[in-house]
């Protein structure tokens, strides 16, 4: 019998997850069906229940439901518990297991695919929502010189920093507080790209040879990318590698088989 999986989000039309996960299934010989589901912003739990009733075996979760998925899970993995957000669900009998593969996906892309070390680097993380929560712990685990979380609502940035304070040098602030600071890695974890905007960043935040990393893939030449290029970022990444690496980790969680992301990256680039 074909096992059913999906991705929940709102919006969800831009999602590449169905293409990616079905490509992984063909590559590894797994018999699955995978589709995108647009969940109402006030009806995530109901959408999950309906999918489970259809026989769903697992799901990915994207904006804006990662923290709701955390609350919905009846059991959490250590990395999901640390993050306080869930992007991967596993449905076992009456149990809903919540996991988070964002952090491992980000680190594999930056450190392996891009060959950019994190240790000793000054890192700026933009945003304090579910996408950001999933990567703070893993980033601090690589021992950066500092990690600054900036958000429009300052209290959320500071609260997130306090949550992870025991893991390393992390602080929270507003965007205006970034003036005069310089970073080696700037990671955009906000949803602003979906609306064609970007956080109000001051000039001069990119160090020579710095990495500008956009976690939302496939949105074209976004304002953040243009800003980073004009500000002299040494390398700009669209986040395709993270998308693929976190998806591969989810696939491994569900199926116990780890797919090769390289041919799927080539497939997506051809479709772009």
CA distance 83 to 126: 16
CB atoms closer than 10 angstroms to residue 27: 15
- Are both 61 and 73 inside the same structural domain? yes
Q: Which of 4, 16, 57, 66 is catalytic?
A: 66
- Average pLDDT of every residue of the chain: 95
Domain extent for 131: 103-239
- Are both 97 and 141 inside the same structural domain? no
Domain presence at residue 169? yes
Residue with token string 């240790």 = 119
The DSSP H or E segment spanning 233 is none
pLDDT tier at 79, thresholds 50, 70, 90 = very high
pLDDT for res 254:
98
Domain presence at residue 267? no
Domain presence at residue 272? no
Weakest mean pLDDT among 118-132, 141-155, 184-198, 203-217: 184-198
- Are both 83 and 118 inside the same structural domain? no
Strand, helix or coil at 156?
Answer: helix
The answer on pLDDT for 196 being more than 90 is no
pLDDT for res 269:
85
- Are both 12 and 95 inside the same structural domain? yes
- Work out the average pLDDT over 154-166: 97
pLDDT tier at 231, thresholds 50, 70, 90 = very high
- Distance, CA of 197 to chain centre: 18
The counts of H helices and E strands in the chain are 10, 12
Establish whether 271 is a catalytic residue. no
Domain presence at residue 112? yes
Q: What is the CATH number of the domain that holds 111?
A: 3.40.50.720
| Strand-pair partners of 37 | 8
- Are both 81 and 107 inside the same structural domain? no
The answer on pLDDT for 272 being more than 70 is no
| Strand-pair partners of 211 | 185, 235
The answer on pLDDT for 194 being more than 80 is no
- Are both 125 and 95 inside the same structural domain? no
Q: What is the pLDDT of residues 22-70, one digit of tens each?
A: 999 999 999 999 999 999 999 999 999 999 999 999 999 998 999 999 9
CA distance 220 to 196: 10
- Are both 72 and 97 inside the same structural domain? yes
Domain presence at residue 271? no
pTM of the model: 0.91
Q: What is the pLDDT of residues 85-112, one digit of tens each?
A: 999 999 998 999 999 999 999 999 999 9
CA distances for 228 relative to 21, 75, 125, 127, 252, angstroms: 31, 40, 14, 16, 34
- Distance, CA of 189 to chain centre: 7
63 versus 169: the higher-pLDDT residue is: 169
Q: How many residues does the chain have?
A: 272
- Are both 89 and 10 inside the same structural domain? yes
- Are both 95 and 122 inside the same structural domain? no
Burial class (CB in 10 A: 0-12, 13-18, 19+), 70: buried
| Concatenated DSSP letters of 107-126 | HIIIIIIS----TT-EEEEE
Domain presence at residue 268? no
Strand, helix or coil at 259?
Answer: coil
Q: What is the pLDDT of residues 240-253, one digit of tens each?
A: 999 999 999 999 99
Q: What is the CATH number of the domain that holds 79?
A: 3.40.50.10860
CA distances for 209 relative to 89, 103, 116, 201, angstroms: 38, 23, 10, 19
pLDDT for res 218:
66
pLDDT for res 48:
98
- Are both 113 and 227 inside the same structural domain? yes
- Are both 76 and 122 inside the same structural domain? no
Per the structure, the count of domains in the chain is 2
pLDDT tier at 221, thresholds 50, 70, 90 = confident
């Amino acid at each position: 019998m074909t096992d059913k999986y999906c991705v929940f989000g709102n919006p969800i039309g831009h999602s590449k997850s169905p293409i990616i996960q079905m490509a992984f299934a063909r590559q590894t010989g797994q018999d699955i069906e995978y589709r995108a589901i647009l969940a109402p912003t006030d009806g995530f739990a109901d959408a999950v229940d309906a999918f489970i009733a259809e026989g769903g075996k697992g799901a990915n979760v994207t904006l804006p439901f990662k923290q709701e998925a955390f609350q919905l899970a009846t059991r959490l993995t250590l990395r999901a518990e640390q993050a306080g957000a869930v992007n991967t669900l596993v449905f076992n009998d009456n149990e809903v297991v919540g996991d988070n593969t964002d952090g491992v996906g980000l680190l594999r892309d930056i450190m392996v695919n891009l060959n950019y070390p994190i240790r000793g680097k000054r890192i700026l993380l933009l945003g304090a929502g579910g996408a950001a929560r999933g990567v703070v712990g893993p980033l601090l685990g690589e021992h950066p010189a500092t990690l600054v979380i900036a958000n429009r609502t300052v209290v959320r940035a500071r609260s997130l920093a306090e949550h992870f304070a025991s893991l390393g040098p992390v602080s929270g602030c507003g965007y205006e507080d970034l003036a005069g600071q310089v970073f080696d890695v700037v990671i955009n974890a906000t949803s602003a790209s979906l609306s064609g905007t970007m956080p109000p960043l001051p000039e001069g935040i990119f160090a020579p040879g710095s990495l500008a990393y956009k976690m939302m893939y496939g949105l074209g030449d976004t304002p953040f990318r243009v800003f980073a290029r004009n500000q002299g970022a040494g390398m700009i990444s669209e986040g395709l590698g993270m998308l693929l690496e976190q998806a591969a980790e989810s696939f491994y969680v569900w199926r116990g088989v780890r797919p090769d992301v390289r041919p799927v990256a080539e497939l997506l680039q051809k479709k772009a």
